Every structure is written in structure tokens, then in C-alpha cells.
């Protein structure tokens, strides 16, 4: 197979190939069952700018709540949705990456209210309906066309060399599960993400969401969740933001054992081929000395799939 066809012949591509060869061939090859790779989702596997895809779904749900109760517009995040000025929502996420979760807690409170008491089957059906009809706001394609083609190729390349790939994202687990098999070839049981609380309704024999957030899979929680789900230190990890840095460094290791590879997708392309370029929220990760930076501008010859590839 052609190795990573949407990747330019750069030092970054060579680093990835050299690393994979070093851990899969020769007398020092890592056993297949220990070849674990983990990937963030938003901004790493699919588009994050100008809007996080799950947020597009959530805003639609909040709009429905506003129609039923217009008084909600008096408080955030409904004020942002009612006015069409979503800067507050984006600011809450950016404040989180800066260590301030005050607005994020307000945001999460409104999120949890959307699913409280809803069955997992009804939620899955609602998300499936969203993906059937929604289009990316700038690409004008279904969201399957907003997947990063080079990263999808990297998944296939790793699998061809005996890796098992997981998603480890701050995005909500069950939202991602609805499309990860189709978009990435990753089955739902290999999706690690933020999660609403769950309860079992014995009367209806149904699993339902409860009025709490079980965990936010970001920052230092990511290595913990990866270990709890896999029992392994990953050999390779890929992310794009400060919240991914602990996961990337967990893969790289502390220098006392087998060294892994941490990859950071840097959205630095000014040509309009990809997401809006940004560094905010990724400053610490970009400054880390032991992380390999993937430049969208320099390392990728193609960002999104063609219609046939999508």
C-alpha cells in the first residue's frame, strides 16, 4: 500500500514512518497486543473550526428548548443561541483551556439537561437524524466530508502494522459512537470520551441518562481514562490542543521505558484548504519539546476527502 498518500514528503512524515517501523519490525518489535494508538477527535480527526460538530447538534437542541420556553434566553448559554452571537460559548471553551472552568460549568449544566431521563436508544436516534441531514457550515458537505483525510490514512497505516486504534476525546462518547465506525473504521467499543451519567430503568429494561456528568475526558483525565479502558500505555497518541498534552506525554513516556510518539496537529494553514488557523488553546502543547508537530500547511497535501473518498 502507498504510505500516507495525502502526506507530503516531509520530516514529520518520515518521523511517523520511522517510528512505526521501529516498533513493528526487527528483534525489538513491540508485541501486537501492546500496539495501542489513541486519537483526540475534535480538531484532530475532524474539523473543529468554525464550529465543533457536536456543538452544532447541541445548538439545534437548545433552539428547540427556546421555542418551548423563550424565558430561557435570559441566561447563558441560551442568550448566545437566541441572539446568534455564539462568542460566549467559544469563550467558555477557551477559558477552560486556560484553566478557568466557571463558564464551562454553566455550559455543562445546560448540556446535561438535554439528555436527563432520555434513553440511550432515543439519543442515538436523534444523533443519527442530525448526521443524516446536517451539513458543515463552511464546507457545505455532510460532516463525513469534514474528516481529515491524512489522519484517516494514518489510522489505516497503523492498523496495517498491527496497531489497535482508539478515540480518546473530550467530545461526548455516545455522540461520537454514532459515526466512528463509518467515518474512521473505529467501532463504538473503542471510543473513550466525556460521558453523561447512566442509570438502568428496570421497569422498562432501558439504560437512560441521568442528571449529571460522569466525567469530562480532558487534560489529566485522558491518561486515566485510557488506562482504565485499555490497561496499556499507548505507543502513539495524536491531539491538537493543550487538553491533549497529558495524553501525548503519557504516550511519549518518562524516558525510563519504551519511548512512544506524540503527535500534535497544528492548524496553521492560511490557504483556506482546512480549518481556520489558530494557536489559541494549543500554546502549551506547541511549546512542548518532546511532541512532534504536524503542520497542516506543510505536511498535508490534502486536508478533506474528495467526494469518492468521503
Domains and CATH numbers, the chain: 11-49+140-299 (3.40.50.1000), 53-133 (no CATH)
At residue 33, the pLDDT reads 96
CA distances to 116, 120, 200 from 204, rounded to whole Å, are 16, 13, 9
- List of residues 6+ apart from 90 with CB closer than 8 A: none
Over pLDDT 70: what percentage of the chain? 98
Kindly give the residue spans of alpha helices, DSSP state H, lying in the chain.
Answer: 11-24, 53-68, 78-83, 87-97, 102-115, 120-133, 149-160, 173-177, 180-184, 221-230, 245-252, 283-287, 296-299
Segment 78-107 shows an average pLDDT of 86
pLDDT at 310: 54
Q: How far apart are CA 218 and CA 285, in angstroms?
A: 14
Longest dimension (CA), the chain: 67
Residue appearing with cell numbers 483526540: 40
Q: What is the pLDDT of residues 210-225, one digit of tens each?
A: 999 999 999 999 999 9
pLDDT in tens, 6-55: 999 999 999 999 999 999 999 889 999 999 999 999 999 999 988 889 99
Cell of 298: 506543510
d(CA 15, CA 22): 10
pTM: 0.93
What span, in angstroms and rounded, lies between the C-alpha atoms of 119 and 87?
31
Q: Is the predicted pLDDT of residue 86 greater than 90, yes or no?
A: no
Amino acid at each position: 500500500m502507498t504510505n500516507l498518500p495525502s502526506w507530503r514528503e516531509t520530516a514529520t512524515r518520515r518521523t511517523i514512518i520511522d517510528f512505526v517501523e521501529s516498533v513493528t519490525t526487527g528483534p525489538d518489535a513491540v508485541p501486537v497486543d501492546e500496539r495501542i494508538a489513541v486519537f483526540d477527535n475534535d480538531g484532530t480527526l475532524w474539523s473543529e473550526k468554525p464550529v465543533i460538530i457536536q456543538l452544532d447538534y447541541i445548538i439545534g437542541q437548545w433552539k428547540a428548548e427556546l421555542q418551548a420556553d423563550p424565558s430561557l434566553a435570559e441566561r447563558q448559554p441560551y442568550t448566545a443561541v437566541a441572539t446568534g452571537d455564539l462568542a460566549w460559548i467559544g469563550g467558555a471553551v477557551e477559558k477552560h483551556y486556560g484553566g478557568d472552568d466557571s463558564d464551562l460549568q454553566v455550559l455543562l449544566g445546560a448540556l446535561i439537561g438535554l439528555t436527563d431521563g432520555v434513553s440511550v436508544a432515543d439519543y442515538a436516534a436523534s444523533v443519527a437524524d442530525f448526521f443524516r441531514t446536517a451539513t458543515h457550515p463552511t464546507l457545505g458537505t455532510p460532516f463525513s466530508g469534514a474528516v481529515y483525510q491524512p489522519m484517516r490514512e494514518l489510522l489505516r497505516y497503523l492498523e496495517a502494522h498491527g496497531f489497535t486504534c482508539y478515540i480518546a476525546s473530550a467530545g461526548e462518547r455516545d455522540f461520537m459512537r454514532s459515526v466512528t465506525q463509518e467515518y474512521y473504521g473505529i467501532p463504538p467499543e473503542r471510543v473513550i470520551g466525556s460521558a453523561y451519567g447512566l442509570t438502568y430503568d428496570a421497569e422498562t429494561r432501558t439504560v437512560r441518562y441521568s442528571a449529571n456528568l460522569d466525567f469530562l475526558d480532558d487534560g489529566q483525565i485522558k491518561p486515566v481514562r485510557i488506562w482504565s479502558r485499555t490497561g496499556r500505555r499507548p505507543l502513539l497518541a495524536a491531539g491538537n490542543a493543550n487538553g491533549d498534552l497529558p495524553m501525548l506525554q503519557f504516550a511519549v513516556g518518562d524516558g525510563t521505558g519504551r519511548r512512544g510518539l506524540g503527535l500534535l496537529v497544528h492548524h496553521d494553514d492560511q490557504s483556506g484548504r482546512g480549518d481556520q488557523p489558530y494557536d489559541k488553546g494549543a500554546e502549551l502543547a506547541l511549546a512542548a519539546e518532546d511532541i512532534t508537530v504536524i503542520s497542516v500547511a506543510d505536511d498535508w497535501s490534502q486536508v478533506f476527502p474528495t467526494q469518492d473518498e468521503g
